[in-house]
Amino acid sequence: MSRIQLLSPRLANQIAAGEVVERPASVIKELLENSLDAGASRIDIDTEQGGVKLLRVRDDGRGIVSDDLPLALSRHATSKIRDLDDLERVATLGFRGEALASVSSVSRLTLTSCAEGEDQAWQVETEGREMSPNVQPAAHPRGTTVEVRDLFFNTPARRKFLRTEKTEFGHLEEVVKRLALSRFDVAFNLRHNGRSVLGLRPAHTEQEARRRVGSVCGPAFVEQSLTIDAERSGLRLWGWVGLPTFSRSQADLQYFFVNGRMIKDKLVAHAVRQAYRDVLFNGRHPTFVLFLEVDPAVVDVNVHPTKHEVRFRDGRMVHDFLFSTLYRALAEQRPGERVDDQL
């Protein structure tokens, strides 16, 4: 009989990486969320070969002090929550303290940062190391750059699951778009193989927000959509919903954010589908970019590691609010419709 042994930290991280790091797009999601959590106002993303060869995210956020750099790469190390109370009302995108540890265990990762109030930048590099990495001086303006090279170089089984460069880049670009929609105030630049793919300036006015939605979802969506803005019992819903004539054969233009976090949720999907029920043909899918704002205390985001699902304390109320707001908006643009009969 074999004896029980503790896994080495690296192996433990690689096992955890199996859950959160599926492909370059999952890495980009984690890196961008960290930049946003750090208060970045501008994020530059450089990628090569679909992100497999290189993923580099540079931000102008608060940065990480030199003593914390090795910790940032350790598992269960986070600056975002301290106790159960914090967990119950997380306002940041990350909180598990797992992403950098996981990513660094399956790639060659360099973390460079100049923290707010420090006059020097520092860097740590990891490559198959069990020990705490060395902290070296570096040149970097205030903010952080995370460079991830050769994803899955040491886990060939995972690498085999990667698709073509084009497919991987497609997934990655989709993640950037989602996050760009979640934060109009932040500038995003995305490059692939040295070519600029997306350049989004900060959008502060409604006009600029519309322009960003147009850049991300295509100008036709903005032109053929209704503007939503409704509030009831502490819930606010705003954004854009496509006219029934601007439906799609696939559910590929559907963005729903809860307190700035993109989610895919059955309850939400059902409410939207119901609202469109009478105006869409079978097999067609509505298009929308919607933002729901609620008190963080009434929504639980700690449901799943990839965090696509949420749990509302009062799901029924949220469902009714979504359904009635969208139903009303869609009905109002149809001449001769009596909305009140239906609600």
Which region holds residue 111: left if phi is over 0, alpha if psi is between -120 and 50, else beta?
Answer: beta
In angstroms, give the least distance from the CB of 159 to Mg ion.
23
Report the alpha-carbon distance of residue 239 to residue 212 in Å, rounded.
Answer: 12
DSSP-derived letter for residue 196 is: E
Output 76 or 316, the one with its CB closest to ligand ADP. Answer: 76
- Residue 112 near which of ligand ADP, Mg ion, none (CB within 5-8 Å, type-dependent): none
Q: 268 Cβ partners below 8 Å, 6+ apart?
A: 256, 292, 318, 322
Fill in the per-residue mask, 264 to 283: x = in contact with ligand ADP (CB under 6 A), - = not in contact.
--------------------
Report the alpha-carbon distance of residue 124 to residue 110 in Å, rounded.
Answer: 6
Output 68 or 320, the one with its CB closest to ligand ADP. Answer: 68
- Residue 72 near which of Mg ion, ligand ADP, none (CB within 5-8 Å, type-dependent): ligand ADP
Report the alpha-carbon distance of residue 139 to residue 80 in Å, rounded.
Answer: 26
Residues 76-88 as b or e (16 or more Cβ within 10 Å = b): eebbbbeeeeeee
Fill in the per-residue mask, 138 to 177: x = in contact with ligand ADP (CB under 6 A), - = not in contact.
------x---------------------------------
Binding of ligand ADP by 244 (CB under 6 A): no
- Residue 62 near which of Mg ion, ligand ADP, none (CB within 5-8 Å, type-dependent): ligand ADP
In angstroms, give the least distance from the CB of 146 to ligand ADP.
6
- Residue 63 near which of ligand ADP, Mg ion, none (CB within 5-8 Å, type-dependent): ligand ADP
In angstroms, give the least distance from the CB of 222 to ligand ADP.
31
- Residue 61 near which of ligand ADP, Mg ion, none (CB within 5-8 Å, type-dependent): ligand ADP
Output 93 or 217, the one with its CB closest to Mg ion. Answer: 93
Within 80-109, the residues that bind ligand ADP by CB under 6 A are 80, 94-101
- Residue 121 near which of Mg ion, ligand ADP, none (CB within 5-8 Å, type-dependent): none
In angstroms, give the least distance from the CB of 152 to Mg ion.
19
- Three-state DSSP class for residue 27: helix
In angstroms, give the least distance from the CB of 40 to ligand ADP.
7
Q: Which two tokens stand for residue 128?
A: 């198959």
- Three-state DSSP class for residue 188: strand
Binding of ligand ADP by 44 (CB under 6 A): no
Q: 256 Cβ partners below 8 Å, 6+ apart?
A: 262, 263, 264, 265, 268, 272, 288, 290, 292
Q: In what order do the strands lie in the sheet with 195-200?
A: 135-138, 121-126, 108-114, 143-149, 54-59, 42-48, 187-192, 195-200
- Contacts with ligand ADP by CB under 6 A: the residue count is 22
Report the alpha-carbon distance of residue 58 to residue 177 in Å, rounded.
Answer: 17
Residue nearest to Mg ion (CB): 94
In angstroms, give the least distance from the CB of 92 to ligand ADP.
7
* CA R_g for the chain: 22
Residue type, 269: A
Interface residue list for ligand ADP (CB under 6 A): 30, 34-35, 38, 59, 61-64, 72, 78-80, 94-101, 144
